[in-house]
Amino acid sequence: MKLAVVGAHLSGLPLNGQLVERNATLVRTTRTKNCYRFYALPGTVPPKPGLVRVTDATPKGIEVEVWEIGYAEFGSFVELIPPPLGIGTLELEDGEKVKGFIVEPYAVVGAEEITQHGGWRNYLKSKS
């Protein structure tokens, strides 16, 4: 199955090994449709973002990596996801719908919105 990641699971970042250990393979880098807001979640270790679908259009989509992971491995992967993160359905800029990381809305109250950065890597670069 296809799984879109947006933060600490991206290639070369701290949690990417959780995908690699499960023999997941990177399919492509793309963007979400421009209907998501992106937040830096406070107090997460390692730092993680949250993605929330909204009804209004945003300037551009958020960069994601799409990975292919086996169904059996997906279950053990999902068990590692701490709240307030979860897996939902994301719509990519080309209209394809894949499973991917979302965040429960309560977690973004007071969080820094980072949609304008267009992705986690760009946000991290802006902090260094």
Q: What is this structure's pTM?
A: 0.96
User: How many domains is the chain built from?
Assistant: 1
pLDDT at 59: 85
Non-local CB neighbours of 65 within 8 Å, separated by 6+ positions: 4, 5, 9, 10, 11, 26, 28, 29
Give the contacts of 34 (CB within 8 A, at least 6 positions apart). 57, 58, 59, 60, 61, 93
- Taking only the tens of pLDDT, the chain with its 128 residues reads 999 999 999 999 999 999 999 999 999 999 999 999 999 999 999 999 999 999 998 889 999 999 999 999 999 999 999 999 999 999 999 999 999 999 999 999 999 999 999 999 999 999 98
pLDDT score for 117 = 97
DSSP state of 13: S
CATH classification of the domain holding 90: 3.10.490.10
Task: Pick the closest to residue 15 from 126, 123, 120, 108 (CA basis).
Answer: 120
Q: What is the pLDDT of residue 45?
A: 95
Domain ranges, residue 60: 2-127
* pLDDT tens-digit readout, 44-80: 999 999 999 999 988 899 999 999 999 999 999 999 9
pLDDT at residue 58, as a whole number = 85
pLDDT for res 128: 86
